[in-house]
Amino acid sequence: MSTIYNFCAGPAMLPAAVMQKAQQELLDWQGHGVSVMEISHRSQAFIDLTKAAESRLRSLMNIPEDYHVLFMHGGGRGQFSAVVNNFLGNNGRALYLESGQWSKSATAEARKLAGDDRIDSQSIVEKVNGLNKVTLPKLEGDSGKYRYVHYCPNETVDGVEIFEELESPWPIVADMSSTIMSREIDVSRYGLIYAGAQKNIGPSGLAIVIVRKEMLALPAMPQSSIMDYRLAAENDSMFNTPPTFAWYLAAEVFEWLHRVGGIEAMAELNKAKAELLYACIDELDFYRNGVAAQNRSRMNVTFQLADESLNGEFLKEAETAGLVALKGHRIVGGMRASIYNAMPLAGVEALVAFMQAFAAKHSS
Ligand SMILES: *Cc1c(COP(=O)(O)O)cnc(C)c1O
């Protein structure tokens, strides 16, 4: 089989070493004679796995003791509603900052559950010289005005990333679905961090929630038990049967991250990968990227062909060259190369070589 590089935005590629280990263990996990999928989540072996997963994640991300780490159902969008239901009670208000498609979807879900008048929103992205640029607002006001402020540090669809730190008098809730563990962050700055797993963690369906313990004292709305952070925390994320295989794979990805040098090493590699790709886009008039330099995503590199009539051919030839899933999101069009942690440098090098050759061939 020739090498395939998968640039899918999610479910995204997983580290080859992790997939190989999972394959080896698929039918007989740790000598139990059965798959990890076929074992009770209450068994000691599985409980040990969950403890290892949590401690690996805690050390990777340097998560303080006063935070819970929860493994939940429902992916990223499940958390759009969970944060509202868990924190807004019957009269709480929240502020939503919008920088692209995902943060707008989060606002819409919050309004659906809490009503328009309890959810304030503010756009923080604008076109400057034709490029999308984020300006973080100066957030000021009574600390009781909002229960939290929600934002999305990496907009997966738009290829917009926010590297600057948000300052806020209210707890910060961050949708880190597509940026978690791609670079170092200070967890103590956040009231809650959540991430759907299928970008940098493991299979889809699972969500990781990192929440400051004192946030759980906020009053909740009536809600489904399986999305209740308090019940999840009290029950070690096993109020009901958890997505066990996804949890197992996440634990393996965390171990792989440790092996390759942790998040610091990963961040350096991610920066190098992104710079290589943006340099190629900037060098050739054939391609363009519509994001201001300081907000160019290191995980999702969006680009357009100057001649969009070549889109179909670009995708077809790329696929023939083993470079798959480069089509941009249907809302924004163009191309998108998602280069999460699991994408090796060689994958980006292969893409750049292809893009140079494609441009040379078609710009005579
Ligand atoms: C993928 C993604 C989501 C949605 O995740 P689902 O698991 O499909 O619900 C939400 N937010 C961001 C930033 C994402 O990248």
Q: CB atoms < 10 A from the CB of 165, how many?
A: 12
User: Residue of the nearest CA to atom 10 in ligand 1?
Assistant: 76
* DSSP string computed for 15-77: -HHHHHHHHHHSSSSTTSSS-GGGS-TTSHHHHHHHHHHHHHHHHHHT--TTEEEEEEESHHH
116-136 per-position pLDDT tens digit: 999 999 999 999 999 999 999
What is the residue type of 187?
A: V
* Percent of residues, the chain, with pLDDT higher than 90: 98
pLDDT of residue 205: 97
- Using 50, 70 and 90 to split pLDDT, how confident is the model at 175? very high
Pocket of ligand 1 (CB under 6 A): 10, 75-77, 102, 152, 156, 175, 177-178, 196, 199, 204
Q: What is the pLDDT of residue 2?
A: 78
Cα 353 to Cα 81: distance, rounded to the nearest angstrom: 43
Encode pLDDT of 304-354 as tens digits.
999 999 999 999 999 999 999 999 999 889 999 999 999 999 999 999 999
Res 297: pLDDT: 98
206 alpha carbon – ligand 1 mean position (Å): 11
Tokens of 159: 């290829």
What are the structural domains of the chain? 5-16+262-363 (3.90.1150.10), 31-260 (3.40.640.10)
Instruction: Please state the rounded mean pLDDT for residues 261-265.
Output: 98
Q: Which of 158, 170, 199, 228 is catalytic?
A: 199
**Residue 130 confidence (pLDDT):** 94
User: Which protein residue has the closest C-alpha to ligand 1 atom 12?
Assistant: 177
CB 341 within 8 A of CB 184: no
Q: Is the dihedral of CA 329, 332, 337, 341 positive or negative?
A: negative
Q: Is 51 among the residues known to form the active site?
A: no
- Model confidence, pTM: 0.98
What does 69-111 look like in DSSP terms, one character per residue? Answer: EEEEESHHHHHHHHHHHHH-TTT--EEEEE-SHHHHHHHHHHH
**Nearest C-alpha neighbor of 7 from the set 315, 361, 229:** 315
Name the closest-CA residue to atom 13, ligand 1: 177
C-alpha angle with apex 3: 362 to 12, nearest 5 degrees?
A: 90
Nearest-10 crossing angle of helices 244-259, 262-283: 80
Position 359 scores a pLDDT of 97
Residue from 73, 102, 181 whose mutation best tests the ligand 1 pocket (most atoms within 8 A of CB) = 102
- pLDDT above 70 covers a percentage of the chain that reads 99
The mean predicted confidence, pLDDT, of the chain is 97
Confidence at 1, pLDDT banded by 50, 70, 90: low
For residue 300, give both structure tokens.
């999702």
Mean pLDDT in residue range 242-253: 98
The CA distance from 304 to 285, in Å, is 11
Q: What is the DSSP string of 268-294?
A: HHHHHHHHHHHHHHHH-TTEE--B-GG
Query: Half-sphere exposure of 114 toward its Cβ, with a 13 Å CA cutoff?
Result: 31
The SS3 assignment for 327 reads strand
Q: Which residues are paired to 149 by β-bridges? A: 95, 172
Cα→Cα distances 158→123, 286, 290, 334, Å: 14, 20, 9, 11
Closest ligand 1 atom to residue 176 Cα is 13
Residue 363: pLDDT above 90? no
pLDDT at 61 over 90: yes
User: What pLDDT score was predicted for residue 143?
Assistant: 93
> Mind listing the pLDDT tens digit for each residue in 71-104?
999 999 999 999 999 999 999 999 999 999 999 9
Q: Give the mutation target among 173, 178, 198 for probing the ligand 1 site: most ligand atoms within 8 A of CB.
A: 178
271 flagged as catalytic: no
pLDDT of residue 364: 66
- Strand 148-151 with 94-98, pairing: parallel
Catalytic-residue membership of 175? yes
Distance CA 363, CA 57 (A): 48
Question: What stretches of 196-243 show up as alpha helix (H) in DSSP?
Answer: 229-234
Q: How far apart are CA 26 and CA 284, in angstroms?
A: 46
- Of the candidates 102, 170, 247, 256, the residue annotated as catalytic is 102
